[in-house]
Amino acid sequence: MLLFTTAAELRAYAEAERCAGRRLGLVPTMGALHEGHLQLVRAAAAACEVVIVSIFVNPTQFNNPEDLRLYPRLPEQDAAALAPAGCTALFMPAVAEMYPQPTVLHFDFGPLERVMEGAHRPGHFNGVATVVSKLFHLARPHAAYFGQKDFQQVAVVRQLVADLSFDLELISYPTIREADGLAMSSRNARLTPTARAVAPLLHRVLAQAALRVQGGVGPAEVQQHALAALAQEPQFTPEYFEVADAQTLQPIMGYEAGRAVVLCVAAHLSGVRLIDNVVVD
């Protein structure tokens, strides 16, 4: 597995591999890798001869400086996990390498970013779109792999790819969970043992809400019930629970045949912000 820290190295490598006729897959991450990331790397390796994984804790997508400061960083452990999963090149740039000058570009994804993560984390998707665009330009992959754990991010990146005509296939994979249902997340490492013990409630609430949606209970009632269930656990501070159209991500008033629904939740637990979602077809 090759290791690059400069944009020029990555660009030259990817260019040479593309010219040699090989298929390139890109998996953008912020590191502290777990099974959720590694399934994306394995999927890329199954379909592409060249698998580029980026590890970059992107400061421009953090709206909370404390969250950025405390974000887990485990470069050696990550590098050791990547080669066996099929990664051929790891790109680990410094902040100054990705941002040699402050960016001034602004993305506006319209209604897509006025809800949920976009509404609660000002500037978040601007930072995501900036760094993802940079990575797409540097690596020019044939395929890019993302996790549905960040459901809204996939929708935003899909819009980005369409609007800027990136010539790549956007592929997303389902959320990988711990045995007790908690969605794997690099931030889970920051949970205290008592917080970790109650953390699976987030997924249980989603699963129960999904059953209610399937049973025809109205979106407002599903939302109210879910927020009340979360409030039962004093360690949780819910930020939002939305019943939304899985395509547009806009909150819905009722259900329509043939339109999938996504239930999305964000909550704080012992100072850690967790998100999760489930899709109801």
The site for ligand AMP (CB under 6 A) is made up of 29-30, 36-37, 40, 146-147, 149-150, 173, 175-176, 183-186
Q: Least CB distance from residue 234 to ligand AMP, whole Å?
A: 26
Least Å distance, CB 14 to ligand AMP, is 19
The full DSSP string for the chain is -EEE-SHHHHHHHHHHHHHTT--EEEEEE-SS--HHHHHHHHHHHHH-SEEEEEE---GGG-S-HHHHHHS---HHHHHHHHHHHT-SEEE---HHHH-SS--------GGGGSSHHHHHSTTHHHHHHHHHHHHHHHH--SEEEEEGGGHHHHHHHHHHHHHTT--SEEEEEPPPB-TTSPBP-GGGGGS-HHHHHHTTHHHHHHHHHHHHHHTT--HHHHHHHHHHHHHTSTTEEEEEEEEEETTT--B-SS--TT--EEEEEEEEETTEEEEEEEEE-
Nearer Cβ to ligand AMP (93/147):
147
Shortest gap between Cβ of 35 and ligand AMP (angstroms)? 7
Catalytic site residue from 37, 124, 142, 203: 37
| Nearest distance in Å: CB 152, ligand AMP | 10
The residue (of 150 and 242) whose beta carbon lies closer to ligand AMP is 150
Q: Is 37 a catalytic residue?
A: yes
Q: Of the two residues 88 and 188, which places its CB atom closer to ligand AMP in the complex?
A: 188
Nearer to ligand AMP, 127 or 238 (CB): 127
Active site residues: 37
